[in-house]
Structure 1
């Protein structure tokens, strides 16, 4: 990952086992379609993939927006991934922004989107790639591609119906209208709506409830949730049997059982 890419995502550790990633182009409202930002996101995902010390990531945006999604100026200039002939643009999406959802789905570390402001187009879709979403009261969401004469080129049409159902997803995608944070919570897009001042604190509280559990169980559970979208019940149960058998050999499982029998808090090693 280049030095430029490293500066595009600010990484801090506000609590043990929890990382906070902040998209860091506030003056541009944190677009995610340019190659350096894509490289920054994927580089950090690759970094934590096998790092068992990271048990949860909170993703947010610097400034007033979570992410405006695509770089509108480059769309107007027909530059970057938005320029060239048909085949060049198609490959630009495949080798550009579409790498983000594939990377997000390839890692079993839980992600919480702390949505501090507008999440628009690909920026909204990035929130749907996360496992949970906490929104500030002033945040809003827009699957606004149709209003630019476009479609969700980064997989949003796959993620959104799985979160809020086909009818609500159709309403958002076909109108491009804004959905405020309270409505998003009612529709099941958002887990919690909080004041801007409490956004990171509430996200950390949620992350803390996750990281209190053994890393094997957390990561294996996320993997099961992801795999459930493609499995039959029979194949899902087969995967559960294998993962559960492995869980029985984990020291943290033995400690959890002992702690419950002894009526004390567990002392996990991971």
Structure 2
């Protein structure tokens, strides 16, 4: 552990070569995505994306919950005070930018789901590239239980991850499922014991960080683009992304290492202008 940076509602620290652990730190309110935590989240992403030595993030929550989504006490105050005036849905200007930034980030992001991840908290985990859950995790698209449809990307992410039928079941029932069921339906990649959650996520992040950073960024962009375009466009995008990387040093090193049966020695601290 080292190089810890504390913001008001979250902190981040280096936990390995190229890997940063980002922790939402508002456990008394379930790490709900409120304006303060959204602001700090975007600030942290700005800082970390600008640092070329950072190549993968692990996101988790302090305390017993990953994120409970909206702070319902704050939502109650909003409904009592502001709704007749603004007519806007609660948190509309808060969580949308966070979800979009996670999806668009150049950095792969692994959600280490340590406890409850419901409503907007689940949507935040869905926006990440990979999800690893503790055996203590509980996950649910619970908006319907508040009389609301999902509002932060769940209806976009879930059908792509689970298929339309399972997505509909989670959305329309608002059921909260345990980690074993989440793994069974493909909502998470792995389930581990609570004390193994962060080490497992960091180990995976370090494996990703050891790859060519150019290839990782291109691969993440390509994976995201497949959600919006057809196969032919995806194939063309993949082809030209690879072609753009062929002249660079990483492809040559990767091919040589494979042929020589050794671990590739990619440049992990590129010059800023790269």
Asked whether the two chains share a fold, i.e. TM above 0.5, the reply is yes
Q: Distance in 1 between matches of 2:208 and 2:260?
A: 23
1:199 aligns with 2:197: yes
Q: Secondary structure at the match of 1:66?
A: strand
What corresponds to 2:12 in structure 1?
11
Q: Distance in 1 between matches of 2:49 and 2:236?
A: 24
What corresponds to 1:155 in structure 2?
153
What's the CA shift for 1:233?
A: 2.1
Structure 1 unaligned blocks of 5 or more = none
Matches within 5 A, 1:12-91: 12-32=13-33, 34-78=34-78, 83-85=82-84, 87-90=86-89
1:93–1:31: structure 2 CA closer, same or farther, 3 Å change rule? closer
Q: TM-score, normalised by structure 2?
A: 0.90
Q: Secondary structure at the match of 2:44?
A: helix
Matches within 5 A, 1:117-128: 117-128=115-126
Q: TM-score, normalised by structure 1?
A: 0.92
Q: Is the Cα contact below 8 Å between 1:52 and 1:215 reproduced in 2?
A: no
Q: Secondary structure at the match of 1:57?
A: strand
Q: Is the Cα contact below 8 Å between 1:19 and 1:58 reproduced in 2?
A: yes
Q: Is the Cα contact below 8 Å between 1:93 and 1:153 reproduced in 2?
A: no
The structure 2 residue matched to 1:102, chosen from 95, 100, 103, is 100
Cα deviation digits, residues 164-201 of structure 1 (max 9, x gap)? 11111111111111110000000000111110010001
Q: Distance in 2 between matches of 1:225 and 1:95?
A: 27
Q: Is the Cα contact below 8 Å between 2:109 and 2:130 reproduced in 1?
A: yes
1:195–1:24: structure 2 CA closer, same or farther, 3 Å change rule? same
Q: Distance in 1 between matches of 2:127 and 2:85?
A: 27
Q: Distance in 1 between matches of 2:78 and 2:86?
A: 14
Q: Distance in 1 between matches of 2:60 and 2:31?
A: 10
Tell me the matched-pair count: 263
The structure 2 residue matched to 1:251, chosen from 249, 252, 265, is 249
Higher mean alpha-carbon deviation, 230-239 vs 144-153, is at 230-239
Q: CA-atom RMSD, angstroms? A: 1.8
What corresponds to 2:272 in structure 1?
none
1:244–1:86: structure 2 CA closer, same or farther, 3 Å change rule? farther
What corresponds to 2:265 in structure 1?
267
What's the CA shift for 1:88?
A: 4.1
Q: Distance in 2 between matches of 1:168 and 1:250?
A: 43
Q: Distance in 1 between matches of 2:261 and 2:152?
A: 48
Q: Secondary structure at the match of 1:263?
A: coil
What's the CA shift for 1:236?
A: 1.7
Q: Is the Cα contact below 8 Å between 2:70 and 2:91 reproduced in 1?
A: no
Higher mean alpha-carbon deviation, 20-29 vs 243-252, is at 243-252
1:45–1:88: structure 2 CA closer, same or farther, 3 Å change rule? farther
